[in-house]
A and B are shown apart, each in its own frame.
Chain A
Amino acid sequence: MSSLLVVGISDVKMTKAPGVLITYALGSCIGVCFYDSAIRLGALLHIMLPDAPSKIDNVFKYADTGIAETLRKMESMGGSRSRITAKIAGGAQMFHVPGDNHLGNIGKRNSDSVRMTLLKQRVRMLGADVGGTFARTVEFDTATGVAKVRTYGHPDKDL
Chain B
Amino acid sequence: MVASYEDLNELQLDAIREVASIGAGNAATALSSLLSQQVKIDVPNVSLMEYSSAIEILGGPETIACGIMVRLSGDMNGVILYLQELDFINVVLKSVFGKTASGYEELGEMETSALIEIGNIGISSYINSLAAFARMDVQLSVPAFCINMAGAMITVPMTEIGYESNKIMLLDGNFKCGGQKVSSKLLLVPDVKSLSELLGRLGVNK
Chain A interface (Cβ < 8 Å from any Cβ of B): 8-11, 24-29, 48-49, 53, 57-58, 61, 92, 94-100, 102-103, 106, 133-137, 152-153
Contact B52 A11 (CB under 8 A): yes
Within the complex, what minimum Cβ distance (angstroms) separates B145 from chain A?
A: 7
Tell me the B119-146 residues at the A interface (CB within 8 Å).
141-142, 144-146
Q: A94 and B152 in contact (CB under 8 A), knowing A49-B163, A57-B166, A152-B64?
A: yes
Within the complex, what minimum Cβ distance (angstroms) separates A153 from chain B?
A: 8
Provide the residues of chain A in CB contact with B52, threshold 8 Å.
8-9, 11
Contact A92 B71 (CB under 8 A): no
Chain B interface (Cβ < 8 Å from any Cβ of A): 51-52, 55, 61-62, 64, 67, 69-71, 79, 105, 141-142, 144-153, 155-156, 158-160, 162-163, 166
Query: Cα distance A56–B79 when bound, in Å?
Result: 24
Query: Cα distance A57–B165 when bound, in Å?
Result: 9
Within the complex, what minimum Cβ distance (angstroms) separates A88 from chain B?
A: 16
Provide the residues of chain B in CB contact with A97, threshold 8 Å.
69-71, 141-142, 144
Query: Cα distance A61–B144 when bound, in Å?
Result: 26
Contact A103 B142 (CB under 8 A): no
Within the complex, what minimum Cβ distance (angstroms) separates A55 from chain B?
A: 10
User: Closest residue to A53 on the B side, CB-wise?
Assistant: B163
User: Closest residue to B157 on the A side, CB-wise?
Assistant: A103
Query: Cα distance A133–B148 when bound, in Å?
Result: 9
Contact B145 A48 (CB under 8 A): no
User: Closest residue to A137 on the B side, CB-wise?
Assistant: B62
28 A–B contact pairs at CB < 8 A?
Answer: A9-B55, A9-B158, A10-B51, A10-B166, A11-B52, A25-B149, A25-B150, A27-B152, A27-B156, A29-B152, A29-B159, A48-B51, A48-B155, A49-B162, A94-B67, A94-B153, A95-B144, A95-B153, A96-B144, A97-B69, A97-B71, A97-B142, A100-B141, A103-B79, A103-B160, A134-B152, A135-B152, A136-B152
Within the complex, what minimum Cβ distance (angstroms) separates A98 from chain B?
A: 6
- Residue in B69, B70, B152 whose CB lies within 8 Å of A92: B152
